[in-house]
Structures are given as C-alpha cells and as structure tokens.
Amino acid sequence: MKCSGRNAITGEQVVLEFDEVINHVDPLLNPEDAAAWLAPGFVDIQVNGFAGVDYNSPTASHEEIARSIRVLFSPGVTRFFPTVITGPPDGMLGALRNLAVARESLKDGAAMEAFHVEGPHISPEDGPRGAHPARWVRPPDLEEYRRWQEAAGGHVRLVTLSPEWPDATRYIEQLSREGVVTSIGHTRATSQQIRDAVSAGATLSTHLGNGAHSVLPRHPNYIWEQLAEDRLAASFIVDGIHLPDSFLRVALRAKGIERSVLITDAVMPAMCPPGPYTLGEVEVELKEDQRVVLRGGTRLAGSSLRMDRGVEQLMRLAGLSLPEAITMATTNPARVGRLPGRFRALRTGERADLVRFALDHGRIQVLETFLRGERVFKL
C-alpha cells in the first residue's frame, strides 16, 4: 500500500509504503494533494464505550462491539483501551472476559490494544469518586487483580487507583513489576501518599483535574502535587466541558507536552443522539450540548468526545500547534500505554496504523484510517 500527504509532525510532504509496518518514508517531490495530512493513528487509552455499546457490560454482543470499533475508526482511532470501571467483582470479570474473547475473535479486534481497569480501588468519598457507584468501591487486592488478568487473557495493561488506601504502595509495586501501568485517579490522597505511589512505580495521572472535590485547600492539594511531579505523565479530557481553558493551559505548561496525553473518557452515548442511556447500573443522559450527566442531575459521567474533536480542542482551547496536538493523541499515549511499534511516529519499522485527514480552519475531517496497513475507514 501507498499513501501520501503532509507529515502532521514535521510538515514535510511524504509518501509512505507499507504493509503491516511502514517500509519506506520518502519525500514527495510532486504533491498530488497538498491539503491532505498524514499522522500515526490516534491512540485512546480510556474508552468506556462508544456508539451505543457499553464495554462494561458482560453481555455486550461481539457484533455490537465490532460495530463500535468500526465507528471508532471514523474519527481516526486505530488503537484503544476498552475501560472497565468500578462495579461488582463478577460483573467486572464478566466484562473483561467478554472483551478478551472479542479481541481475539473479531476481524478488527487488534484495535483493542489492551484493557484499562479504572477502579474499584478509588476514593469512596463523594467528589473524587465521580460517577463510580459507591457500594462497589473497595481497597486494592492483588488476588482480585490476578483474577482480572486471568479473565482478560493477560491484557490488563493500565489500572487507575487511589493511593490513599493503606496497601496501595505494595499493590503498585507488584503491578509495576508485572509491566502494568498504574495511574493515580479518583483520589483524595495526601501529598506523601502521592509521592509514595510514584516511588512505588505509578507513572500517570488519570484525567487530571476531574474526579476531584469541587472545593480544595489552596495548598497543599492532590492536583497541585500531581502537576508538580515530573515523574507523572497526565491524561486530559479536552472536550471544552470537563476542564476550563485556563486550567488546561496551566496544566499543559506544568506537565509539558511530552508528559501530556489526550483521552476521551468516552461512554456508550458517544456519537449517538441525545437522550437517556444506562452505563452498567448507572442511569445517564446525553444532553444536546454533548454533556453526559447522571440522569436528573448535573454531575458528569464520562464524555461523548471523539479523538478528532479532541485534537481540534487542543489547538483551539489550549493554543497548541498541530504537531503538539497530534503528539498528545498518538506517540504520547503509545509511550505511556506501552504500545510497541508506536513510539516513533511515521518512521520505518513502525506499525502501519495511520490516519489521513484534511484540516480546514482548525476543523479536522478524517479521510482514511489504516489499521496494520489495511484501510478500515474511507470517507
């Protein structure tokens, strides 16, 4: 296969030759379409559901999961982490087991790179707990983690927890030894607990600035502590709803683009009509303005963000350049999520996960998406 366009990271006109990996990257001397841009396919390490499919449901049909993956290709996503949140032990195991079978059996199952377990070892307090059901919050348990891995075929690669629990440090140390990324999130941890978690091996903050109390001490507090910790990367939901522009700009300056990751935290109503939906046992509503809230209230319960719109919002709200925004959607999550063959952008030998798009006045229109060298979406 071949495709051409402007490299979204370097600005150079290039032509790529590829099969499952990129075999050649050459200068394009006579550009055929100067309006088309090329980038590595987007990587989203936090997707709870999409296109009407809830990845937390143990009974989600593989046909529907396959359909949701095909929809995910249209905004340029090529790899993602289906995310299972706080729930009953059997329900979480059932969801992981169902996703693992789908990953192995579906034609496009490779797009489900690995799994993210967000909770249940999070803060039980209102505010930092977010929309996670309080009755299923529980302390870290290595035996439960091992049951997750067994159900998931060893594909749990990212776990979000709060280091406020007494055994959190030992838990983080063990997961880190096994190559699992541990992330701080939904927490009310003290500064010392956060420092201890990082020393134990935590490397990420999950959707920093969200999953927090509405009012915090001026200082110290757990948001400042994570912003100041250079050993932590941070993920951000950039939908114009979850974070005010001023916080986003300051947070990106604190972490640096190199330690910042774009996520959607999308839930099943993403790319669906407004209306009522159910996420596991949680009743939510997708509003006309694209907010996903607990039904009858205003508390956010995930997002309806798409990755292409997230890249746009990084440029519009945070003032980032296209290369910076693309980096936050591609090589940074690949590095943080430990995706082999995805660290070096459009380089020979990298996986041929690609997105080709047009950019008009800050608006992205995905033209083609390739997974392992195969075209999986064409406008």
Q: Just list the catalytic residues.
A: 265
- What is the C-alpha to C-alpha distance for residues 16 and 100, in angstroms, rounded to an integer? 32
- What is the C-alpha to C-alpha distance for residues 92 and 104, in angstroms, rounded to an integer? 19
What order do you get walking across the sheet with 156-161 strand by strand?
42-47, 77-85, 115-118, 156-161, 181-184, 204-205, 233-237, 260-263
For residue 25, give the nearest of 350, 378, 281, 272 by alpha carbon: 350
> 3-state SS of 237-281?
ECCCCCCCHHHHHHHHHHHCHHHEEEECCECCCCCCCCEEEEECC
* Beta bridge pairs of residue 53: 50
DSSP letters of 65-109?
A: HHHHHHHHHTTTEEEEEEEEES--HHHHHHHHHHHHHHHHHSTTG
